Amino acid sequence: MSQANKLDDIYRQARWHEPIIFLKSTKEQVGHNVPEPDKEIIKEIGDIKSKIPKALIRSTPPELPEVAEIEVVRHYTRLSEMNYGVDSGFYPLGSCTMKYNPKINELVSSLDKVTDLHPLQNEDDCQGSLQIMYELQQWLAEISGMDKITLQPSAGAHGELVGVLIIRKYHELRGEAEQRTEMIVPDSAHGTNPASSAMAGFHTIELPSTEEGLVDIEALKAAVSEKTAGIMLTNPNTLGLFEKDIEEIAKIIHDAGGLLYYDGANLNAIMGKARPGDMGFDIVHMNLHKTFSTPHGGGGPGAGAVGVKKHLADFLPKPIVDFDGKKYFLKYDIPHSIGRVKSFHGNFGVLIRAYAYILAMGPEGLKNASETSVLNANYLGRKIAEIKGFALSHSQTLPRKHEAIITAEPLLKETGISALNVAKRLLDFGIHAPTIYFPLIVPEALMIEPTETESKENLDLMIDAMKKISEEAYTNPEILKTAPHNTAVGPIDEVKAAHPKTMALTWRMYMKKHN
């Protein structure tokens, strides 16, 4: 079989016609027997509904489906078969670090001693979980080069919020809150950076990138002023490039009285190789669901640990986990704390997965993971850039870090095939599409992050797929414009979902429109 034919037959996603659960309902069916009160209790209390005040009682039961257990099982099994995860195949979604999620992590996070612990139990009962959190804090501090870590935030953006609130509080304490209203964010930044700054009340100053794809130092010098609260930076940045002038950037910001925030979405490139804490960053967040292998769950839950330098330790959200040499405890006495950002102490079910991952890797393993992820990204980026219609964005010479940004602009100009078409066609080969149209400063962007957990065979498969797509673009573009063909459904009408006439955000809305 030729390579091209191999690609044609490589992937078929399940195509169940699985109706929405409401349409699987049969009257008076049950899917689960819930416990009923003891007969003696009923005898003593009577019918509870008769005791509910009139103003409170629900007159008609909720219109929920009534489905037998086996049908619930088949329904969600079929839906899972129409979904795609890292377990299904290669998922080179840039900036998302879709590495393998080890199964031992799942196992330890589902142990009874993890799941059955109530967050308000006294500290003596929770020594195991607190120890795990404390050690994880220590390890993350070492990996990032920071002094103190909080594990409270639920996600990267939640960590960013904590970070910008710390910056705000820091200036407030120095009596400069009114004055320092501007947060500098490069034009290549994740959308969460400006959105998070806004949530702390800052105004975003967008910083242009150089042709090479790095922070423009002159523009930075021009942007800083007595209004500067800080800068939010990823390093390596979203173009996959290391900001080599980081020392100067740090100096410019610090001299202007601002603080440096590190968006850790791209930390996977530099574990054991370099540390944001050594580069002058004051605050760092780490996405445990990216770098530290915890699964993304279709969008979450994640965990966004935040690390700070000593001088900001008193601003962390409370509580954080501490250790007095004998006992682990929740420390609430944090003088300038920004407060609480979450009901309890953190996403423990996620944290313990990251803990297991670090144990499985060790110092050598983390370093090797970073090196291999960088090698994979450079290999994939270079090879794809050689294919007709594709090119590396920005610097042609600088090594990439964890990801490589390819522009499909030449392909679009020559064939009319866009990055979106390329992305959809990749799905046909059982490869999840890269992130597309991001960073915003790259036209027809394909942001490719293979991670270290993919073999050379998988990288070569994607390279072959991209070659095939290029050939098709020049010879048979129709197959690209009508892609995907091998997924659970074909191309989707996204406009209809948002059009006021057809919009149905829930089944309830849909039924109102159609009855």
Partner 1 sequence: MGYIHPYIPNSEEVKKSMLKELGLNSIDDLYSDIPEKFRLKRPLNIPHVKSEYEIYKHILNILSKNKTYTNGRNFMGAGAYEHYIPAVVKALSSRGEFVTAYTPYQPEISQGMLQTLYEYQSLVAELFEMDIVNASMYDMASALAEAALMTVRVTRRKKFIIPDNINPQHIETLITYTEPHNIEIVKIPYDRKTSMISIDALKKEIDTNTAGVYIQTPNYFGVLEEQVDEIEEIVHTNKSMFVVGVDPISLGIIRSPGSYGADIAIAEGQTLGAPMSFGGPQLGIFAVKDNKKFQRQLPGRLIGLTTTKDEKEIAFVMTLQPREQHIRRERATSNICSNEALMAVIAAMYIATLGKTGITKLAETIATNTAYAMKKLDEIKGIKVPYFEGFHFQEFVMNFDDTGKKAEDILDKMHKNGILGGINLSKMYDIGESVLVYVSEVHTKEDIERYIETLKEALK
216 binds partner 1, rule: CB under 8 A:
no
Binding mask of the shown chain, residues 60 to 99, with x at each position contacting partner 1 by CB under 8 A: -xxxxxxx-x--xx-xxxxxxxxxxxxxx--x-x--x-xx
Which one, of 202, 119, 214, 191, lies nearest residue 163 by Cα? 202
Among 7, 18, 259, 320, binds partner 1 (CB under 8 A): 18
28 binds partner 1, rule: CB under 8 A:
yes
Where in 307-326 is the site for partner 1 (CB under 8 A)?
Answer: 317
CA distance 205 to 182: 6
385 binds partner 1, rule: CB under 8 A:
no
Where in 334-363 is the site for partner 1 (CB under 8 A)?
Answer: 338-350, 352, 355-356, 358-363
301 binds partner 1, rule: CB under 8 A:
yes
179 binds partner 1, rule: CB under 8 A:
no
Residue 311 tokens, joined: 């001088």
422 binds partner 1, rule: CB under 8 A:
no
Pair 379, 361: CB distance under 8 Å: no
What strand order describes the sheet that includes 228-233?
148-150, 304-308, 283-287, 259-263, 228-233, 182-186, 203-207
Beta bridge partners of 205: 184
Write phi, then psi, for 438 (nearest 5 degrees): -150, 140
Interior CA angle at 16 toward 12 and 17, to 5°?
Answer: 140
Q: How far is the CB of 377 from partner 1 (least distance, A)?
A: 9
Which one, of 321, 319, 312, lies nearest residue 140 by Cα? 321
The region of 215-223, 225-233, 256-264, 392-400 touching partner 1 under the rule CB under 8 A is 392-400
35 binds partner 1, rule: CB under 8 A:
yes
Query: Which residue, 36 or 324, has its beta carbon nearer to partner 1?
Result: 36
The region of 28-36, 215-223, 224-232, 409-417 touching partner 1 under the rule CB under 8 A is 28-36
Q: How far is the CB of 27 from partner 1 (least distance, A)?
A: 9
CA distance 94 to 97: 7
Where in 96-155 is the site for partner 1 (CB under 8 A)?
Answer: 96, 98-102, 104, 106-122, 124-129, 131-132, 139, 142-143, 154-155
Query: Which residue, 1 or 485, has its beta carbon nearer to partner 1?
Result: 485
Helix (H), strand (E) at residue 231: strand 228-233
* The amino acid at 475: T
Among 216, 282, 452, 472, binds partner 1 (CB under 8 A): 452
Instruction: Characterise 482 by phi-psi region: left (phi > 0), alpha (psi -120 to 50), beta (else).
Output: alpha
C-alpha distances out from residue 150 to 147, 199, 301, 317, Å: 11, 19, 17, 7
2 binds partner 1, rule: CB under 8 A:
no
Q: How far is the CB of 157 from partner 1 (least distance, A)?
A: 5
Q: How far is the CB of 240 from partner 1 (least distance, A)?
A: 11
């006021």: which residue's tokens? 500
